[in-house]
Chains A and B, each alone.
Chain A
Amino acid sequence: MPNENERPAAPDEQVINLLMSVLKNRGALFLIGVVGVLAWLGSGFFIISPGQQGIIRQFGKEIRIASAGLNWRFPSPIERVSIVNVEQVRRLEVGFGRQVPEENVYMRREVMRSDAMMLTGDENIVEAQIIVQYKVKDPVKYLFRLRDPEGTLYTATEVALRSAVGRSTIDDVLTTGRLKVQEETRKFLQRLMDDYESGLFITEVRLQVVDPPDQVKNAFHEVVRAREDRERFINEAKGYQEDLIPRARGEAQKMLREAEGHKEEKVLKAQGDTVRFKALLGEYGKSKEVTWNRLQLETLERILPRANKVIIDPKTGSNALPLIPVQNSSFLDAFKDKSAISAPTKEGVI
């Protein structure tokens, strides 16, 4: 067992003497052997934390899985343990320009930059960034069936995302179709990872950013602005409507009220007039001639003071007409307060 003596014929007398004494003492030799074996066996203990699993290989062959707690295996080189966390949700970002090493997949800076660029089904270009969350579902497969599961996942994510984006149009990808793309990507990615026996389970695929490339961003913003303009135009027209219609309703009501007023007025006036007429008629029936003449004279009395009067004797003939400048104001003033009867007298035409 003493390995330090593998070197042939150590010349050091002291060491040889010591070893000689040990070898001669069989009890000591046995003790060393026992301690050595115990130490070796003791190195077989290992601890599995919650959420982890320990895959134990005996001479390279997977024989059992150790669960959480203190475990023991035959120490190396007989058995080996690989501990895998099966609860931890891991995370992978694609399209963020980060380099993920994968054997034999090309890796160039400029490619990384355009990592996020992809073609949509209608031959437009979008930039998309995606986050994949995954767990180790089957640690045996994860460890032994696929070389570089993480790198493979990265590539497969690109494949799945591009395939899903390729099946959509740019408008879908940028707006309503995002969830669909996400879901398609997840399903496809899971299928690929199952095909590759990766032992990985995709818990979530989340599209972070889906944008048109910088070169055309302005045009896309312009569309957003145009959409806003559309809403504005419509709102302005609605404003016009809301401004005009109530006012028109008001005007219409005004017109109606006026007409109603007119109607009432007419009817009431007519009623008033007829009441008056009937009263007068009653009086007239009692003494017709007097009433008749009285009304006639009273009317003349009211009319004549206002009008200019010219009294012409028909016997003088009509050649005297027109002869008096009746519009003369001083002439009018002179008759302002005179009675109808006295005025012609003053005129002196008689």
Chain B
Amino acid sequence: MNALTLLRYLPWIVVSVFFLFSSVIFVVDETDQAIITRLGAYKRTIQNPGLNLKIPFLEKANFFEKRILTSGALPAEYLTLDKKRLVADHVTRWKIVDPLLFYKTVRDLAGAKARLDDIVLSEMRRELASHDFSKIISSERENIMDTIASHARTQAKEFGIDIVDVRIKRADLPQEVQDSVFARMMAERQRIAKRYRSEGEEEAFKLRGETDKNRTILMAKAYEESQKLRGEGDATAAKVYAEAFSQDPVFYTFVRSLEAYEKSFNDKSTMLLSPDSDFLKHLRETYSQKS
């Protein structure tokens, strides 16, 4: 074989060698797994990544995802235990654990998703129907999810699928109910607003009442104290007077009466005087008559 002949056939050689190699050698990636079928009959499963060999032309490698996959569904309406309507959607995370079984039963991802949706949806319907709306929204949410996931997991096993979890993403009231929820929310807020206002007034009345009371007490105490002081003054005065005046009561009476007279007569008073009175006596009496 001379060089020219080699050159002529080189492309053919390269192509056929490449083709032979690629039909014998194949790579399973970290993200993949594969099953080898020989003329349609299952031969083996390859789940570890790396370089692999197969018989060219006779054997075929079918690749499957090894990563965790997602399958979601549009929101659907469910009926809860307390006969309320609930709009919920779900997301299922799953992976292919048995590629052979998977290949046999659902063949590809689209088929698997359809089956999974069926399973999860019916589990959702069953599980949500046995719980009250409020529980689904709040406290029981995770338990419900776990229950659905474990039921679905059992069923999905026959497809070579392992369900990681099922989660409700949104759980809402139906659109038509939303308006009444809004109305209820508004009523509730109005109630709270009213409560705040009347609480304010309550507190204000309390404070005002307390203030009035304190003021009244304050004034009464002051009155009490002042009366006491006045009384003390009066008493002391009386004592002083009594002590002094008791030295000569007759003279005191005389002097005090004079003072009283002086005070009680004013220019509106009229005095009727008898010429016989002692006061006018000296108008009448002569010296010889003096007593």
For the complex, give the distance between the alpha carbons of A314 and B215 in Å. Answer: 65
Are B197 and A307 in contact, CB atoms less than 8 angstroms apart? Answer: no
Assess whether B55 is interfacial by the CB under 8 Å rule. Answer: no
How near does chain A come to B121, taking the closest CB pair, in angstroms?
14
Q: Are A277 and B245 in contact (CB under 8 A)?
A: yes
B270 at the interface (CB under 8 A from A): yes
How far is A259 from B188 in the complex, measured between Cα atoms in Å? 60
Contact check: which of B72, B75, B182, B208 meets A216 at CB < 8 Å? Answer: B182
**Do B70 and A151 touch (CB < 8 A)?**
yes
Contact A256 B225 (CB under 8 A): yes
Contact assessment for A241 and B211 in the assembled complex, using a CB-CB cutoff below 8 Å:
yes
Q: Bin chain B's interface residue count.
A: 35 or more
A6 to B255, CA, bound (A): 158
Binary contact track B264-289/A, C-beta < 8 Å → 1, others 0: 01110111111110011001000000
Alpha-carbon gap, A21 to B181, bound state (A): 89
Q: B49, A24: Cβ atoms under 8 Å?
A: no
Number of interface residues of A (CB under 8 A): 129
Contact A241 B192 (CB under 8 A): no
Convert A327-350 into 0s and 1s, putting 1 for each residue whose CB lies closer than 8 angstroms to a CB of B: 000001000000001001100001
* Nearest-neighbor residue (CB-CB) of B276 within chain A: A314
Residues of A within 8 A of B134 (CB): 121, 123
Indicate if the CB atoms of A259 and B274 lie closer than 8 Å.
no
Q: Which residues of chain B come closer than 8 Å to A60, judged between CB atoms?
A: 27-30, 32, 49-51
Which stretch (B5-13, B99-107, B123-131, B150-158) binds chain A?
Answer: B5-13
B43 close to A (CB within 8 Å): no
Which residues between 157 and 188 of chain B lie within 8 Å of chain A, taking CB atoms?
A: 164-165, 167-173, 178, 181-182, 185-186, 188
From the candidates A23, A104, A170, A252, name the one contacting B71 in the complex (CB within 8 A): A104
**A307 and B229 form a contact (CB under 8 A):** no
Residue numbers in A under 8 Å from B139 (CB-CB)? 121, 167
**A41 sits at the interface (CB 8 A):** no
Inter-chain CA distance A280–B6, complex, in Å, is 169
Cα(A151)–Cα(B214), bound, Å: 68
Report whether A307 and B10 are in contact in the complex, using a CB–CB cutoff of 8 Å: no
Complex-state Cα separation, A233 to B198, whole angstroms: 9
The total of interchain contacts (Cβ-Cβ below 8 angstroms) comes to 347
Whether the Cβ atoms of B215 and A244 lie closer than 8 Å is yes
CB neighbours (8 Å) of A59 from chain B are 27, 49-51
B15 & A57 in contact (Cβ 8 Å cutoff) = no
* Contact between B251 and A284, CB atoms less than 8 A apart: yes
Q: Is the CB of B240 within 8 A of A252?
A: no
Cβ-based interface call for B20 (8 A)? no
A302 touches B262 (CB 8 A): yes
Q: Are B197 and A20 in contact (CB under 8 A)?
A: no
Given contacts A118-B170, A148-B70, A267-B236, contact A245 B258 (CB under 8 A): no
- Determine the distance from Cα of A317 to Cα of B153 in the docked complex, in whole angstroms: 140
Interface residues in chain A, defined as those with a beta carbon under 8 Å from any beta carbon in chain B: 3, 5-9, 16, 19-20, 23-24, 57-62, 77, 102-106, 111, 117-121, 123-125, 140, 143-148, 151-152, 155-156, 158-159, 162-163, 166-167, 170, 192, 195-197, 212-213, 215-216, 219-220, 222-223, 225-227, 229-234, 236-238, 240-241, 244-245, 248-249, 251-253, 255-256, 258-260, 262-267, 269-271, 273-274, 277-278, 280-281, 284, 292, 295-297, 299-300, 302-304, 306-314, 321, 326, 332, 341, 344-345, 350
Given A121-B139, A253-B222, 12 other A-B residues pairs in contact with their CB atoms under 8 A: A60-B49, A102-B72, A106-B74, A117-B172, A123-B173, A192-B167, A196-B164, A215-B182, A307-B271, A310-B270, A344-B283, A350-B275
